[in-house]
Amino acid sequence: MAIDAPPAAAEAVPPLTRADFESDQIVRWCPGCGDYAILAQMQRTLPEIGVASHNVVFISGIGCSSRFPYYMDTYGIHSVHGRAPALATGLKASRPDLDVWVV
């Protein structure tokens, strides 16, 4: 095995839209909450990045943002208080092919 082997070819992804990242869950945040803007921007930006939703993982901690993974049609993990970064680090180390986001 060559140490300087090129990375595997990227998966061909058909054109994506915002709808590809919207879940069927009703968003339950307080009126005026800034989390709405973050959710909208992620659903708008992820199709532009061109990564298939099955290769994206959102990891959340506690509080209102903990609901974020439920509102995205991607993989998601709801972690315990203060452990989202450690969980994300472990996931990315074991699965470098995934796009891992902490919210």
What is the model's pTM?
0.83
Q: Does 80 fall in a domain? A: yes
Provide CB contacts within 8 A for 71, sequence distance 6+.
22, 23, 25, 27, 39
Q: Does 67 fall in a domain? A: yes
Examine the pLDDT at 10 and tell me if it is beyond 70. Answer: no
Q: Does 30 fall in a domain? A: no
Q: Does 61 fall in a domain? A: yes
Q: Does 15 fall in a domain? A: no
For the chain, what is the domain count? 1
pLDDT tens, residue by residue, 29-84:
999 999 999 999 999 999 999 999 999 999 999 999 999 999 999 999 999 999 99
Q: Does 98 fall in a domain? A: yes
Q: Does 71 fall in a domain? A: yes
| pLDDT in the model for residue 1 | 43
Provide CB contacts within 8 A for 55, sequence distance 6+.
11, 97, 98, 99
| pLDDT in the model for residue 2 | 47
Q: Which domain holds residue 56?
A: 51-103
Q: Does 23 fall in a domain? A: no
Q: What confidence category does residue 14 fall into, taking pLDDT thresholds of 50, 70 and 90?
A: confident
